[in-house]
Amino acid sequence: MEGAPAHRSSRLLVLGAGPAQLGLLEAAHERGLHVIAVDRDPRAPGFRFADRRAIVSVEDEPAIDRLAAAERVDGVVAPGIDFPVAIAARIASRLGLPHTLDPVTAQTATSKLRQRERFAEAGVPHTRHVVCSTLSEAAAAAAELGFPCVVKAPDLQGQKGLALVPDPDALPEAFDAARGLARSSIVLVEELVTGPEVTVNGFSVGGRFHPLTVTDRVVSDPPAFGVALAHVWPSELPEKTVEEAVRAAAAAAAAVGVQDGPTYTQVLVAKEGPRVGELAARLGGGHDAELCEAALGVHLNRVTIDAALGERLYDGAFVPDELAGGACVRFLVPERGVLEAVEGLDAAERSSGVVWVRSYRQPGHEFGELRRGGDRAGAVLAVGDSRKEAVVRAERSAAKIRFVTAEAEALV
Ligand SMILES: Nc1ncnc2c1ncn2[C@@H]1O[C@H](COP(=O)(O)OP(=O)(O)OP(=O)(O)O)[C@@H](O)[C@H]1O
Ligand SMILES: [Mg+2]
């Protein structure tokens, strides 16, 4: 795969300009690329790094297809969110652009169900689930798997349609919510895996999986079940467990058919061993690439851009160079209400060990109660000599930030 020559400014199409794409967009901008960003939200924070903004949904494949052709892009990339990963692969294939994923692999990777079918065939340990089309099927599945269980749509992310179901009475609402939001008409009922959870961030080159950061995912309790509040590196789990999680992530990438490019794999650590919850064939949406750069000196955003442009990747780009003893992305949770101002950002960014602070929303944005990843208001990335120091520094920085909100009703 040959990309555009390095001396001319390559044109990169990025699907999404929200919080999950900020890091890659910034890296593309710093590299001097001509960046075309797509997002349906005109206030998306990543647009500030774009040379051309297209106010188009990342799900509007025909519109993105036309845009890619008209802009004569050299590459297309979908970091941070799942659904456009398959769109990017199809567009690249149609336009004859270099790309890390073929359309079939990308399509498999964006379905929780299809990827698990591959995991089952390949013997990759994964979460036990039952595919259900009706509430009575779901009730039978839940009775078999036991309560509490988990209900989710097979084709969504960001905790949309995801619920922890404590007892049979709570099942109908969770089932209806998942089926109502799902793109297909099926719902997954899963065993609840109790135990810690890690995220394995890796990058494959020609089928060789390079493991990078393995981070502990700190999650919220219900009703914001599964929402990440922090990613902390290094994991505090025993080395052997971390190695098992890495092996499971590598096997998951191979099973889905990811030969090239980044993967983000959620691994639940059960008593019996690791269970892959889900693999995403893209960069993580929680600033995982920036954490990797701060922790290991591996420029995950840059290599992802290189790969999207069809440039040659060298193994040396993935050699970790422990820059810090610990690193932490801590998400910021606002009070509910309409955002009036964000105070303390400068002080928070000057706080020791802080790499950056990001505020996702502009005044006028209405925050609801924390239910999903999209309800978070920003993040802090901090490093330290140890994991603990990084966490304390991120907390200290976060405590300086205030999201000033007004009652939604009062402003109507
Ligand atoms: N079966 C399960 N057992 C235990 N925890 C689970 C289970 N399913 C989901 N979770 C929790 O919810 C989180 C999100 O789950 P999942 O990845 O399936 O949903 P999602 O909507 O794709 O979210 P994300 O966008 O964060 O990946 C997991 O990281 C985990 O913390
Ligand atoms: Mg997921």
Point out which residues pair with 329 in neighbouring strands: 231, 381
The string of pLDDT tens digits covering residues 98-112 is 999 999 999 999 999
- Return the DSSP state at 36: E
The residue length of the chain stands at 412
**3-state SS assignment for residue 182:** coil
Q: Would you say 152 and 187 are in contact if contact means Cβ atoms under 8 Å apart?
A: yes
159 lines ligand 1 (CB under 6 A): yes
pLDDT band of 194, cuts 50, 70, 90: very high
Q: In 61-170, which ranges are continuous DSSP H helix?
A: 61-70, 83-95, 103-109, 112-122, 135-145
Atom 15 of ligand 1 has which residue's CA nearest to it? 226
Atom of ligand 1 nearest to the CA of 228: 26
Probe residue for ligand 1, chosen from 110, 150, 287 as the CB with the greatest number of ligand atoms within 8 Å: 150
Whether 213 shows a pLDDT value over 50: the answer reads yes
Hey, what are 6's tokens?
Answer: 């390095």
Distance (Å) from CA 185 to ligand 1 centroid? 20
Q: Would you say 18 and 45 are in contact if contact means Cβ atoms under 8 Å apart?
A: yes
Whether 353 shows a pLDDT value over 60: the answer reads yes
Q: Which residue has the tokens 């996702």?
A: 360
pLDDT band of 410, cuts 50, 70, 90: low
> pTM for this structure?
0.96
Provide mean pLDDT across the span 109-116: 96
Question: For residue 16, which of 97, 92, 80 has the smallest C-alpha distance?
Answer: 80
Q: Would you say 78 and 15 are in contact if contact means Cβ atoms under 8 Å apart?
A: yes
Torsion over CA of 180, 117, 95 and 79, rounded to 10 degrees?
70
Question: How do strand 208-219 and strand 197-205 relate by DSSP bridges?
Answer: antiparallel
The string of pLDDT tens digits covering residues 78-92 is 999 999 999 999 999
The string of pLDDT tens digits covering residues 340-351 is 999 999 999 999
- In terms of Cβ atoms closer than 10 Å to its own Cβ (0-12, 13-18, 19+), residue 239 is exposed
Cis amide prior to 172 (ω within 30 degrees)? no
Whether 1 shows a pLDDT value over 70: the answer reads no
Point out which residues pair with 354 in neighbouring strands: 382
According to the model, what pLDDT value does residue 322 have?
Answer: 75
Atom of ligand 1 nearest to the CA of 159: 21
Distance (Å) from CA 246 to ligand 2 centroid? 17
pLDDT > 90: what percent of the chain?
93
Atom 2 of ligand 1 has which residue's CA nearest to it? 192
Provide mean pLDDT across the span 149-163: 93
According to the model, what pLDDT value does residue 412 have?
Answer: 46
According to the model, what pLDDT value does residue 315 have?
Answer: 87
Atom 12 of ligand 1 has which residue's CA nearest to it? 226
HSE toward the beta carbon, residue 295, CA cutoff 13 A: 27
Atom 11 of ligand 1 has which residue's CA nearest to it? 226
First to last CA, the chain: 55
Mean pLDDT of the chain: 95
Probe residue for ligand 1, chosen from 189, 266, 276, 288 as the CB with the greatest number of ligand atoms within 8 Å: 266
- Which residues neighbour 232 within 8 Å (Cβ) at sequence distance 6 or greater? 215, 216, 218, 326, 327, 328, 387, 390, 391
According to the model, what pLDDT value does residue 279 have?
Answer: 98
CA angle 25, 104, 212 (to 5 degrees): 45
pLDDT band of 409, cuts 50, 70, 90: low
